[in-house]
Amino acid sequence: MSLHIEDPRIVEFDVQTDEMLVNMGPQHPSTHGVLRLLLRTDGEIVHECTPHIGYLHRCAEKIGENLSPPQYIPYTDRMDYLAAMNMNLGFALAVEKLIGMEVPEKAVHLRVLIAEIGRIASHLVGMGTYGLDLGTFSPFLYAFREREIILDLFEEVCGARLTYSYITIGGATHDLPDEIEMPDGLASLIGKHKGERLPFLDVIEIFLQWLELRIREYHTLLTRNMIFISRTAGLGILSPEMAVSYGCTGPVLRGSGVDFDLRRDGEAIYTRMYKGYDFEVPVAPFKEAPREVALGDNWCRFYVRMMEVVQAIRLVRQAIPKYKAASGSYREPFKMNTKLPKDEVYLETEAPRGQMGFYVVGNGEGNPLRLRAKSSCFCNVSVTDQICQGVPLADIPAIVGSLDIVMGEIDR
């Protein structure tokens, strides 16, 4: 009996592909550190994507039970190492809330200034590495060029380039420097002579002016790039209901159209810092979005980050005169023998990647009874399985990259 095929396309549909388990990571270059994804694929289509985490687990919470709060500050650096200043701030505020400490006005504006520059640096990495995930290399170089200058400035502030431990309980470890030598990177970019000494706050203003013009370039490189749009728009759609149910926060939540930012809606001890500051919270959907874009897709999450950089620049600009005019010291001294009261606090702050929470239980001793760090990326990455179903294998890095995760924070 001969087999007659009337319409060859039907045979294509009848081909049975085997289900296959594909292991992606933990050493895969596009998973941002040591994230392991176990993909169940049918042909090229992914049906199940299970994240396996814990390769960077150091049990930082247990370490916290054996250290006093100022000693624990360096460990918060090593959680989200791309936004260490914001992590320091979150923990410092939680302990201040527990012991009822008031921070001087000067320290408040110093913190806003430093934390928002940290947010710019973190979002630059998020943007640059997202370009890498999608196969374009040049935005990464531009982003790291800019970030390098921020690291130079932070080095002048506290001596460290990545793990700062600068913002501490009661304020900061030092005041901002008065006058610095202009960083070599910035000097060569704006055509100034190397070695020129300028007031620190003026250098920040020079840098912001320079960065502001570059943001338009990033938009041409990525945001409005046709290839970028076709790799991101309409992909990895996270509905607002699912984002809330899965505890997503930060740009992931706002990219899904939920208008919530702790700098505006958070607890009093945190929003008090931003009182008197004028800023907007970018929330999807955007009017200027290309028509392919859907609410809560990769493009929206990316664009929220880009818009937050603009808002962070605004905040830093407002913080500079406030810091100059503020009176008082840059810190309230914290005695090393302070006993934590028999009480417990939970405080979330808006870190660049989402709401970072610290839960501190004191028991009348110097060390806390329990220290819990609730990670924002932990919640954001838990939604991967839901948004990666039914997409081709090649889109997995694009979707996971748009969540902008840092494994140090997930595994703690």
Partner 1 sequence: MDIQSIHSILLERFGESVVGTQTFKAIDPWIQVSAASIVEVCTFLRDDPRLLFNHLNDLCGVDYLEPDAKKAAKFGHEPHVEVVYHLSSLKQRHQLKLKVVVPRWKDNVEGQLPIVPSLSAIFGIANWHEREAYDLMGIHFEGHPNLRRILCPEDWIGHPMRKDYAFPLEYHGVRGR
Q: Residues 2, 8: contact at Cβ < 8 Å?
A: no
Q: Does residue 386 touch partner 1 according to CB under 8 A?
A: yes
- Asked if 233 interacts with partner 1 (CB under 8 A), we say no
Q: Should residue 350 be labelled a site residue for partner 1 when binding is judged by CB under 8 A?
A: no
Query: Is residue 242 a contact residue for partner 1 (CB under 8 A)?
Result: yes
Q: How far apart are CA 369 and CA 333, in angstroms?
A: 23
Enclosing H/E stretch for 348:
strand 344-351
Q: Is 119:274 a contact under the CB 8 Å cutoff?
A: no
81 versus 260: smaller Cβ distance to partner 1 = 260
Minimum CB distance to partner 1 smaller for 38 or for 221: 38
272 binds partner 1 (CB under 8 A): no
Q: Quick check: 189 binds partner 1 (CB under 8 A)?
A: no
- The single residue among 247, 257, 285, 366 that binds partner 1, judged by CB under 8 A, is 247
Cβ at position 190, least distance to partner 1 in Å: 43
When asked if residue 338 is in the footprint of partner 1 (CB under 8 A), the reply is no
Q: Min. distance of Cβ 138 from partner 1 in angstroms?
A: 36
Residue 265's CB is within 10 A of a number of other CB atoms, namely 12
Please identify, using beta-carbon distances, which residue of 147 and 412 lies nearer to partner 1: 412
Q: Which is nearer to partner 1, 100 or 195 (CB)?
A: 100
Residue 368 in tokens? 């806390």
Query: Per-residue x/- marks for partner 1, 191-230, CB under 8 A?
Result: ----------------------------------------
258 binds partner 1 (CB under 8 A): yes
d(CA 251, CA 94): 22
Q: Are 264 and 274 in contact (CB under 8 A)?
A: yes
Residues 21-40 binding partner 1 (CB under 8 A) are none
User: Smallest Cα–Cα separation from 80: which of 410, 379, 302?
Assistant: 410
70, HSE (Cβ side, Cα atoms, 13 Å): 16
Closer of 153 and 377 to partner 1 (Cβ): 377
Angle ∠(117,123,125) on CA atoms, nearest 5: 110
Using alpha carbons, select from 411, 318, 406 the residue that is nearest to residue 86. Answer: 406
- The yes or no reply on residue 252 touching partner 1 (CB under 8 A) is no
Cα Rg of the chain (Å, integer): 23
Indicate the residue among 116 and 348 with the shorter CB distance to partner 1: 348
The pattern of x and - marking residues 82 through 101 that bind partner 1 according to CB under 8 A reads: ---------------xx-x-
17 to 41, 72, 140: CA distances (angstroms): 9, 52, 37
DSSP assignment string, 173-196? SSPPPSEEEPPHHHHHHHTPPTT-
Contact 402, 301 (CB under 8 A): yes
In the complex, minimum distance from the CB of residue 387 to partner 1, in angstroms, rounded to a whole number: 12
Residue 379 binding partner 1, by CB under 8 A: yes
Q: Which part of the chain contacts partner 1 (CB under 8 A), choosing from 11-19, 66-74, 191-199, 363-371?
A: 363-371
User: Under rule CB under 8 A, which residues in 46-65 are in contact with partner 1?
Assistant: 53-54, 57, 59, 61-62
* Spatial CA neighbour of 111 closest among 36, 30, 167: 167
Residues that bind partner 1 (CB under 8 A): 53-54, 57, 59, 61-62, 97-98, 100, 242, 244-247, 258, 260, 265, 267, 342-346, 348, 355, 357, 359, 361, 363-364, 369-370, 372, 374, 378-379, 382-383, 386, 411-412
